[in-house]
Amino acid sequence: MTRYGAADWDRVVEVLGAADEVTIASHVKPDGDALGSLLGASLALRKLGKKTRATWDASPAALPVPFEWLPGATSVVQPEEVGGAETFLALDCGAGDRLGSLEDAARAGECLINIDHHPGNDDFGDLNVVVTTASSTAELVARLLEDMNVPLDTEIATCLYVGMVTDTGRFQYSNTRPDTLRLAAELLSYDVPAPLIAQKVFESSSFGLLKLTGRVLDRAVLVKDARLVYSWMTRADLDDTGVNITETDSLIDAVRSTRAADVAAIFKEQPDGRFRVSLRSKGPGVGAIARSWGGGGHDLAAGFTADDIDSTVESVARALASGE
């Protein structure tokens, strides 16, 4: 049965089922869904007797603290150990370049499989399962494993649950559908330690991050007409608080929590002086705005890169006001 109406679904089930070795990669700066999907898929394919190498573009590829306890961490290899793979599975990558330095190896392989849920995914694989209504890539992996007849266990279910709980904002965002919770319930039935996961993933910030969050909240600016709230973080902030940029994903959630705004933006200064901008919306679409700046993402959660804060805020506020 082809799920989600995804044309290549059955072929992906076949190809993964027949492969002896699979190289699996997620996107650069992997989040909970990228890592949960990656390790869950790796554990499951190993359970079928296949060799797997799981990785992402980073030097070194090392699990961030909130996820370092994830089962399957032992299948992580460094990106430079990946050559031309027979079967290459790209997970949670909205475009081929999200693989970073691994894109060439991915395309050099015999079969590149692209499994993802980002709108705007350009079907960069030889086989593509792109389902924008899926809560997470982990959800798609779970359904594929079901069709491949891989029995779940606590470890696989834990990885996939982490992917779902993080990408749905703890089952709060609009991508949480009845089927999402049904699948999550099924995963929990494999003794997934949900309260422990909540602690490890959502209550694991360093003390420095607490202080950095304070700075960012203190700086927040409200653009009333556009119902936009924004703030920013500099490299100096990171140095002063001892925080690594990879720990700063939660800053946008702190900024977005005011009822005074529908859209929240946070500007994070990159080593090259430019700003990585994250947008979160409670209603107005921000995906198109991000794409117009060469970025990408979902309707309610998107991002792009900008040169400076003031002019970008002005133009984002204008786009929001005009409803474009």
Question: E-strand spans in 59-138?
Answer: 87-91, 111-116, 127-130
Identity of the residue, 92 or 155, whose beta carbon is nearer to Mn ion in the bound complex = 92
Q: In sequence order, which residues have a C-beta less than 8 Å from that of residue 145 and are 6 or more positions away?
A: 40, 41, 44, 152, 156
| From 57, 155, 167, 247, residue interacting with Mn ion (rule: CB under 5 A) | 167
The residue whose Cβ lies closest to Mn ion is: 33
- Do residues 229 and 263 touch, judged by C-beta distance below 8 A? yes
Q: How far is the CB of 235 from Mn ion (least distance, A)?
A: 27
Q: How far is the CB of 18 from Mn ion (least distance, A)?
A: 27
Q: How far is the CB of 27 from Mn ion (least distance, A)?
A: 9
Identity of the residue, 135 or 231, whose beta carbon is nearer to Mn ion in the bound complex = 135
Q: How far is the CB of 93 from Mn ion (least distance, A)?
A: 9
Q: How far is the CB of 29 from Mn ion (least distance, A)?
A: 12
Identity of the residue, 167 or 269, whose beta carbon is nearer to Mn ion in the bound complex = 167
Contacts with Mn ion by CB under 5 A: the residue count is 5
Identity of the residue, 34 or 261, whose beta carbon is nearer to Mn ion in the bound complex = 34
- The one-letter amino acid code at 8 reads D
Q: How far is the CB of 166 from Mn ion (least distance, A)?
A: 8
Long-range contacts of 46-51 (CB under 8 A, 24+ apart): 46/75, 47/150, 47/151, 47/153, 47/156, 48/17, 48/148, 48/150, 50/19, 50/20, 50/21, 50/22, 51/20, 51/21, 51/22
**Angle at which helices 154-167 and 178-188 cross, to 10°:** 150
Helix (H/G/I), strand (E/B), else coil: 265: strand
Mask for 108-147, x = binds Mn ion (CB under 5 A): ----------------------------xx----------
Question: E-strand spans in the chain?
Answer: 21-26, 51-55, 87-91, 111-116, 127-130, 221-223, 228-233, 263-269, 275-281, 296-297, 301-306
Residue 249 CB coordination number (10 Å): 17
Which of the 8 DSSP states describes residue 76?
B
- The one-letter amino acid code at 84 reads G
Identity of the residue, 8 or 167, whose beta carbon is nearer to Mn ion in the bound complex = 167
Helix (H/G/I), strand (E/B), else coil: 268: strand
Identity of the residue, 44 or 261, whose beta carbon is nearer to Mn ion in the bound complex = 44
Which range, of 48-56, 159-167, 193-201, 269-277, touches Mn ion by CB under 5 A?
Answer: 159-167
| From 42, 52, 88, 92, residue interacting with Mn ion (rule: CB under 5 A) | 92
Measured CA to CA, the distance from residue 146 to residue 141 in angstroms comes to 9
Q: How far is the CB of 221 from Mn ion (least distance, A)?
A: 29
Which range, of 21-29, 42-50, 84-92, 176-184, touches Mn ion by CB under 5 A?
Answer: 84-92
Q: How far is the CB of 135 from Mn ion (least distance, A)?
A: 8
Identity of the residue, 155 or 167, whose beta carbon is nearer to Mn ion in the bound complex = 167
Q: Is 33 in the site for Mn ion (CB under 5 A)?
A: yes
Which range, of 21-29, 161-169, 285-293, 316-324, touches Mn ion by CB under 5 A?
Answer: 161-169
Measured CA to CA, the distance from residue 57 to residue 94 in angstroms comes to 15
Q: Which residues bind Mn ion (CB under 5 A)?
A: 33, 92, 136-137, 167
